[in-house]
Structure formats: C-alpha cells, structure tokens
Structure 1
Amino acid sequence: MFARISGAAFRGILVAMLFALPTLILPASATDSPEIILFIALLGSVLAFTEYYSHFPSFVEFRNAPPINRMRFAASAASVGALSLLAAHPLAPTGLTALVQQLGSWLGGLLDFAYSPVQLTVLMMPPQVPEATVLMVRDAAGLASAAAGAAIAVFALVIRVGNWPVGSGAFNVWVNLPLFDPTTGGDVVQRLQRDGRINIIGGVLLPFALPASVKLASGLVDPGLLAAPHMMIWAISGWALVPASMIMRGLAMLRIAELIAQKRRTACSDPDEALQTA
C-alpha cells in the first residue's frame, strides 16, 4: 500500500513539475497568469495521483505496462524543457539557452526541407510576423520533432529487443487498455490491428495536416500567437508529441495483437502446453 501511494504521489509531483516547467525557466516578465498555471499543475498532479493510486483503470492506457508511458513523459519533459530554454534565450540569455538555441537552429535547418512538417509550420506563419519569430518557431519544431522521433525509435527498439510487454510480466488488457472493449466488434486481433494501423497512419499524417489546417483557417486562428512564449511552447510540443503518442499507441496495439495471435497458434498446435502456461 505504501509503495502504491508513494509511486502515485511521485508521478503526481512529476506531472505538476512538467506543467510548471516553462514558468520556472522563463523570466517572470514572460508569464502573465501564474495562478492559472499553478491551478493546471495542481489539477494534473491530482489526476495523475488518482489514476495511479486507484486499483481500477479509468482512462490512462498502459498503466501497468512500462516503459511506454515513461517514454511519453520523458519526451514531453524534454520537448517542453528545450522549448522553454529556447524561448528564454532572447529574454535572458545564458550559456545553456545559447546551447539549446544552436541545437534548435541546426535541427530546424536540417528538417526544414521541401514538404516536411517543419517547413509547413514555417509556411503557416503570416507574412507580417517578424523573421526572428519565424526562425524560433522553426527551431522549436525541429527540437520537438527530434524528441518525438527519439521516443518512437526507442519504443520500437524496446518492443523488438526488450520483448515488450512480455518482459515486464503478464499483460492485463482490462487495466492497460481500459477504453478498449474486447467483447464487442468482432475478432479482437483484427480490431487491435485495425486500431493500431489507424493510430499509426493518423500519427504520421497529423504533423502535416495541422499546419495546413491552421493555414486554411487563418481567418479564425492566428498563427502569430506563437510569438507568445507559453503559446509557442505548448502548441509546438503538442503538434509533435500527440502524433508521436498515437504512433507509439499503434505500435503497442499491433504488438499485443501479435502476441494474442501467437497464443492462439500455440493453443491450436499443443492444447496441453497452452493450458499449462495459461
């Protein structure tokens, strides 16, 4: 019980620190409403604590199948932290912010090629926006894309090399996929494969579709709002990490479908052995 409470409390503190990270890094002049940020951080902390303390699942997937959620959080923390340092460089430059700015400039220039998601984020910016803001958005997109790509690559490696989720113990579908009902909608393997492919396709297309949608809806959505540091940090992080999370979810569901199919083949070839290992 103590381990469960302490683990849930630790996760809640980490979530609160993630939401407060831009405010802690940026100068006080760049934060207009610290009370709202504090409220959001506390709300996120309470939700994380409640989810991981409860014995029953609610909405957080892969709760007992590490390290997928840890990788998602690490990618989010890396992206938000790097973008916060990038946004702080023009306001309060330090050696660390200068290093992040140089890294972002290199990644932004490297990924800013024809028809790339980074180039689309640059093209969606209005012409009246200063060049410095456009370059910062490009560099932020490069940093966030690198964090998202690294998370996807490491998780794919964990699946194949680390034999996820078998290496972490038995996989409970009810706890780890609370929003997935295996009793409805036909064969569970086919449904997992379909949902996994849909998530991967959606995650690949979303970084292209979001900038194009913002550009088309320029009369309703002003991309110039990305000049505000907090808006830039959370918008660019979400643009990169939500698709990455979808791709990781798709890879996980395809892996679970593969394991269920293997279990079925074992049961068909050797029923006695399948009963002994069940």
Structure 2
Amino acid sequence: MFSRLSGAVLRAFLMVMLVVTPAILVPHTGPDTTQIVAFMAIIAAVMTLFEYSATYPGLVEFRDAPPFNRIRFISLFLTVFLLSIIARNAPEASDMTRLIHAVGARIGQAIDFPFSPVNLVVLMLPPDAPRADVQQLRTAAGISYLVSLLSLASLLIALKTMNWPGGKKSFNVWINLPTFDPTAGSDVVYRLERDALVNIALGFLLPFLTPAVIKAAGSLFGTVSITNDHTMIWTIAAWAFLPASLFMRGIAMGRIASMIKAERARNLAKDAREGRLQAV
C-alpha cells in the first residue's frame, strides 16, 4: 500500500511539473495564465493521485505494464520542454538552445512540403504572418515530430528487448485495459485487432486532420492565436503527441492480440497431445 501511494505521489508531482513547465520557462507569463496553469496542475495531480493509488483500475490504460506509460509521459514532457525552450527565444541563448532550434528548423524544413502535416500546421497562420512566426512554428512542429518518432521507436525497442507486455509477470487485461470488456461482443482477439487497426489509422490521419479542425473551429468560434506562446506549445504538443499515442496504443493492442492467439495455439497443442496420450 505504501509503495503504491508513494508511486502515486511521485507521478502526481511529475504531472504538476509537466503542466507548469511552460509557465516557468516562457517569460512574461501573465497572471491570468498563471492561475489557469495552477488550476490545471492541481486537477492533473489529483486525477493522477487517485488513479495510481487506487487498488482497482479507473481510466488509465496499461497502468501495470511498464514502460508503456513511462514512454508516453517522457515523450510528452520532452515535447513540452523543448517547445518551451523554442518559445522562450532568449537573446542570451545557450549552445543547447541553439542546437534545439537548429535541429527543429532542419527537420521542419525537410518535411514542410505541400500537404505534409508540418505544412498544414504552418498554414494555420494567417497569410500575412511575420516570417519569424512562421519559422518558429515550423521549428516547433519539426522538433515535436522528431520526439514523437523517437517515442514510437522506444516502444518498438521495448517490444523486442523486454518482450513487452509479457516480461516477467502475467498481463492482466482488466487492470491494464479498464475500458475494454473482454467478455462483451465477439471474439476478444478480433476486437483487439480491430481496435488496433482503428487506433493506427487515427494516428496516421490525426496530424492531417488537426490543423483543418483548428482552422474550422477558428472560423466558427473566432481565430485561435497560434502565435501566443502557451497556445503554440500546447497545440503543437497535442498535435504531435496524440497521433503517436494512438499509434502506440494500436501497436500495444495488436501485440496483446498476438499473445492471446499464441497462448490459444499452445493450449490447443497441449490438449491435442493429452488427447493422444489418453487414446493410447
């Protein structure tokens, strides 16, 4: 109980650090923004504390199957941190800051071709946007895309090297997939494979759809100021993180489906051997 509670407290603290990072690093954060950030940090901490301190699962998937959620958190935190560094744009920039800008700018320029996700993000800006804003948004999109690709690579490495999600202990579907009912509907393997394909498809489409949805929402409810530092950070972070997270969820569910099929095949082979022995 104590170890679970201490782990929940640590995770809640990390969530607070994630939420407040832009407010700490980006200069000239207004008092209204500070209050909103503090409120969101409290909500994130409370939800995380209750989720991870509870014995029974709630909404967080793969709670007991590390390092899935750790990879996702590190990916999101690194994205928000790097975007905050880019938005900070301090005149006395360090070598590390200049390196982040250079890497993001190179990647952004490399994949900023017509109808690419980065190109669609840049098109969210008005046609008369200053060149500096365009370059900053392209750099932010490039560095975020890089982090999302690295997170996917990290999960694939974990699948190979750690035999995730099996590893050293059994995988509990109820705890790790609390919103998935294995007893409802058709065959569980079919449903897992179907959900895996849906998540992968959404992960592929979301980088293209998100900018269009934001522009459409802006035309209906008012223009979204993507040039605002905090808006830019969280918009680009969500644009890069959510598709990668859906990709990872799809890969994970496909992996679980393959594990169940392999276990069924082993059980059938075992039953067949026992049947032959009994016949003899």
- Residues 202-256 of structure 1: CA deviation (Å, up to 9, x unaligned): 0001101112333445522666511100000000000110111011000000000
Partner of 2:180: 180
Letter of the 1:94 counterpart: A
Alpha-carbon displacement from aligned partner over 1:168-200 (angstroms, at most 9, x marks no partner): 521000000000011111000000000000000
Task: Show CA shifts across 1:97-119 (max 9, x none).
Answer: 33322222122112213332111
Q: Which moved more, 1:38-47 or 1:108-117?
A: 108-117
Whole-angstrom CA distance in 2 between matches of 1:187 and 1:15: 37
Q: What is the CA-CA distance between 1:157 and the residue it aligns to?
A: 2.0
1:17-62 deviations in whole A, cap 9, x for unaligned? Answer: 0000001111134664212211111110111111111000010000
Q: Tell me the equivalent position of 2:213.
A: 213
Equivalent residue number for residue 94 of structure 1: 93
**Structure 1 counterpart of 2:226, which letter?**
L
Give the conservation status (yes or no) of the 8 Å contact 2:218–2:224. no
Distance in 2 separating the partners of 1:273 and 1:22: 61
Counterparts of 1:1-278 in structure 2, within 5 Å, are 1-29=1-29, 32-89=32-89, 91=90, 93-95=92-94, 96-220=96-220, 225-271=225-271
Query: Residue 12 of structure 1: CA displacement?
Result: 0.5
Secondary structure, in 3 states, of the residue corresponding to 1:151? helix
CA distance, structure 1, for counterparts of residue 258 and residue 176 of structure 2? 16
- Larger radius of gyration between Structure 1 and Structure 2: 2
Partner of 2:277: none
- Partner of 1:266, secondary structure, is helix
The 1:194/1:151 distance shift into structure 2, 3 A limit, reads same
**Alpha-carbon separation, structure 1, partners of 2:194 and 2:16:** 35
273 and 2 in structure 1: CA distance in 2 versus 1, 3 angstrom threshold: farther
Change (3 A) 1:92 1:44: farther
**Whole-angstrom distance in 1 between the partners of 2:28 and 2:67:** 35
Partner of 1:185, secondary structure, is coil
Question: CA–CA distance in 2 between the matches of 1:19 and 1:145?
Answer: 20
Preserved CA contact (<8 Å) 2:23 2:29: no
Q: Which amino acid aligns with 1:45?
A: A
Task: Label 1:203 to 1:266 Cα distance change in 2 as closer, same or farther (>3 A).
Answer: same
Q: Which runs of 5+ in 2 are unaligned?
A: 275-280
Alpha-carbon offset, residue 273 of structure 1: 9.0
Unaligned runs of 5+ in 1: none
- Partner Cα distance (1:116, 1:130) in 2: 21
Moved more, 215-224 or 165-174: 215-224
Please give the TM-score of this superposition, normalised by the length of structure 2: 0.92
TM-score by length of 1: 0.92
Secondary structure of the 1:179 match is: coil
Give secondary structure in 2 for the equivalent of 1:66.
Answer: coil
Could you tell me how far apart the structure 1 residues matched to 2:222 and 2:74 are?
30
- How far apart, CA to CA, are the structure 1 residues paired with 2:264 and 2:11? 36
Question: Separation in 2 of the partners of 1:210 and 1:168?
Answer: 39
Aligned to 2:278: none
1:79–1:147: 8 Å Cα contact kept in structure 2? Answer: yes
Taking only aligned residues, the RMSD between alpha carbons, in angstroms, comes to 1.9
